[in-house]
Amino acid sequence: MNIIIVKDYEEMSRKAAHLFVAQILNKPNSVLGLATGSTPMGLYKELIRFFNEGMISFQSATAFNLDEYVGLEKEHPQSYWRFMQENFFTKVDLPVERQFIPSGVAEDIAAESYNYDKNITSKGGIDLQVLGIGRNGHIGFNEPDLKFEARTHVVKLDEQTIEDNARFFDDISMVPTLAISMGVKTIMQSRSIILLASGKEKGEAIKKMLSGNITPELPASVLQLHPSVTAIIDLAAASMLDIEALKDLYQISMPS
């Protein structure tokens, strides 16, 4: 794993956008794995800026999102479908027919999960996946203790995840308790992964992710086994790391 420690959220977003731009320039028909939440919003803003400046086009790209709440219609203000429309898809030229987000209201969620994974494979697999990280170490909505072999599936959200995401809903009781999420195995099959983390509340999860211990109790720790991960972490999220000790395990670059 290559670790880039940056000053703040803005620098994290810029660096991540540069990696996405490089990916698209090298392979215009890339299959991108996209995420929601507060973390990647700055990345999308930067990509939209690059698009508006004419530097990149998503015309030939395909996008698969990580997850969606079960029970929320597309148009629900907190659905991840809506998040992607508002923060990215309507602002770039990625064709609608190649924007994929699992449906949280499919009649047969098991079939939806199976077909979602199959669709990723049929498009050649994900070239570049962006991930945030939950305070409990989740990636996508793969909560602690879920097996690493899971493909796209339905997950029961942790109390902590429900609490964390309650900020987006009028009341905590309105936060869905289930989600459909790419599984760890689906994520690990991506050719390259960028993990983003910003803010001191992510410090503990980042420390555990890099500790050397690989366990489903801290789902992001599995990324230590992936051959091409770049973790872009701001100083606040990196504040609990013993950088000197980690230099034996990872390639680490510090802010200039």
Tokens in use for 24? 């698209």
> CB-wise, 60 or 239, nearer to ligand F6P?
239
Tokens in use for 33? 């794995």
> CB-wise, 56 or 134, nearer to ligand F6P?
134
C-alpha to C-alpha distance for 114 and 183, rounded to whole angstroms: 11
CB atoms within 10 A of CB 168: 13
- Going from the C-alpha of 256 to that of each of 13, 194, 246, the distances in angstroms are 16, 20, 19
What DSSP character marks residue 158?
Answer: P
> CB-wise, 38 or 52, nearer to ligand F6P?
38
C-alpha to C-alpha distance for 223 and 200, rounded to whole angstroms: 21
User: Minimal distance in Å, beta carbon 97 to ligand F6P?
Assistant: 24
User: Minimal distance in Å, beta carbon 86 to ligand F6P?
Assistant: 15
User: Minimal distance in Å, beta carbon 37 to ligand F6P?
Assistant: 3
Tokens in use for 65? 């999102």
C-alpha to C-alpha distance for 201 and 28, rounded to whole angstroms: 36
Q: Which residues lie near ligand F6P (CB under 6 A)?
A: 35-39, 66-67, 132, 134, 140-141
What is the H or E stretch that residue 188 is in?
A: helix 184-188
Are 178 and 69 in contact, with CB atoms under 8 Å apart?
yes
Long-range Cβ contact pairs of 166-170 (< 8 A, separation 24 or more): 168/78, 169/78
User: Minimal distance in Å, beta carbon 71 to ligand F6P?
Assistant: 15
Phi, then psi, of 202 in degrees rounded to 5: -95, -5
User: Minimal distance in Å, beta carbon 237 to ligand F6P?
Assistant: 10
> CB-wise, 174 or 245, nearer to ligand F6P?
174
Q: Which residues are catalytic?
A: 67, 136, 138, 143
CB atoms within 10 A of CB 244: 8
> CB-wise, 57 or 144, nearer to ligand F6P?
144
Q: Which residue in the shown chain puts its C-beta closest to ligand F6P?
A: 132
